[in-house]
Amino acid sequence: MNQYPENQQLVNQKENDVKQSTQDRAEGKVREATGKIKETAGKVTKNPDLEAEGTTEKVGGKVQNLAGRIEKAVGK
Protein backbone atom coordinates (compact mmCIF):
# COMPACT_ATOMS: atom_id res chain seq x y z
CA MET A 1 0.00 0.00 0.00
CA ASN A 2 1.44 3.33 -1.08
CA GLN A 3 1.64 5.86 1.70
CA TYR A 4 1.34 8.76 -0.79
CA PRO A 5 -1.11 7.77 -3.56
CA GLU A 6 -1.07 11.26 -5.08
CA ASN A 7 2.66 10.88 -5.75
CA GLN A 8 2.08 7.57 -7.51
CA GLN A 9 -0.55 9.25 -9.67
CA LEU A 10 1.97 11.93 -10.65
CA VAL A 11 4.56 9.27 -11.49
CA ASN A 12 2.05 7.37 -13.63
CA GLN A 13 1.02 10.58 -15.39
CA LYS A 14 4.67 11.46 -16.07
CA GLU A 15 5.30 7.99 -17.55
CA ASN A 16 2.29 8.36 -19.85
CA ASP A 17 3.48 11.79 -20.98
CA VAL A 18 6.93 10.50 -21.83
CA LYS A 19 5.40 7.62 -23.74
CA GLN A 20 3.17 10.01 -25.70
CA SER A 21 6.08 12.23 -26.75
CA THR A 22 8.11 9.18 -27.75
CA GLN A 23 5.13 7.80 -29.66
CA ASP A 24 4.65 11.10 -31.50
CA ARG A 25 8.30 11.16 -32.49
CA ALA A 26 8.25 7.57 -33.72
CA GLU A 27 5.01 8.01 -35.66
CA GLY A 28 6.39 11.23 -37.13
CA LYS A 29 9.49 9.42 -38.39
CA VAL A 30 7.34 6.69 -39.98
CA ARG A 31 5.11 9.26 -41.69
CA GLU A 32 8.18 11.16 -42.85
CA ALA A 33 9.72 8.02 -44.38
CA THR A 34 6.43 6.97 -45.99
CA GLY A 35 6.05 10.44 -47.45
CA LYS A 36 9.56 10.38 -48.86
CA ILE A 37 8.87 7.03 -50.54
CA LYS A 38 5.62 8.31 -52.06
CA GLU A 39 7.29 11.52 -53.14
CA THR A 40 10.10 9.62 -54.87
CA ALA A 41 7.66 7.17 -56.46
CA GLY A 42 5.66 10.13 -57.79
CA LYS A 43 8.78 11.67 -59.31
CA VAL A 44 9.91 8.40 -60.90
CA THR A 45 6.48 7.62 -62.36
CA LYS A 46 5.85 11.26 -63.27
CA ASN A 47 2.72 11.24 -61.12
CA PRO A 48 2.36 14.76 -59.66
CA ASP A 49 -0.56 13.76 -57.42
CA LEU A 50 1.44 11.00 -55.73
CA GLU A 51 4.45 13.29 -55.44
CA ALA A 52 2.32 16.00 -53.80
CA GLU A 53 0.72 13.46 -51.46
CA GLY A 54 4.18 12.25 -50.46
CA THR A 55 5.44 15.77 -49.85
CA THR A 56 2.41 16.54 -47.69
CA GLU A 57 2.84 13.35 -45.67
CA LYS A 58 6.56 13.98 -45.25
CA VAL A 59 5.96 17.49 -43.93
CA GLY A 60 3.22 16.19 -41.61
CA GLY A 61 5.67 13.65 -40.23
CA LYS A 62 8.27 16.33 -39.60
CA VAL A 63 5.67 18.41 -37.74
CA GLN A 64 4.57 15.41 -35.64
CA ASN A 65 8.18 14.58 -34.84
CA LEU A 66 8.81 18.17 -33.80
CA ALA A 67 5.67 18.17 -31.63
CA GLY A 68 6.96 15.08 -29.84
CA ARG A 69 10.33 16.71 -29.28
CA ILE A 70 8.66 19.83 -27.89
CA GLU A 71 6.41 17.75 -25.61
CA LYS A 72 9.48 16.00 -24.25
CA ALA A 73 11.38 19.25 -23.74
CA VAL A 74 8.47 20.95 -21.98
CA GLY A 75 7.78 17.89 -19.90
CA LYS A 76 4.23 17.38 -21.11
SS (H, E, C) 2-37: CCCHHHHHHHHHHHHHHHHHHHHHHHHHHHHHHHHH
Question: What's the number of domains the chain is made of?
Answer: 1
pLDDT for position 11:
57
Tens-digit pLDDT profile for residues 3-34: 556 655 655 665 665 578 888 899 999 999 99
Residue 8, domain member (yes or no): no
Q: Show Cβ contacts of residue 8 under 8 Å, excluding neighbours closer than 6 positions.
A: 2
Alpha carbon dihedral 58, 63, 64, 70, in 10-degree steps, equals: 150
pLDDT, average across residues 26-53: 96
Containing structural domain, residue 32: 21-74
How far apart (Å, rounded) are the C-alpha atoms in residues 23 and 72? 11
pLDDT, average across residues 23-47: 95
Residue 40, domain member (yes or no): yes
Tens-digit pLDDT profile for residues 49-73: 999 999 999 999 999 999 999 988 8
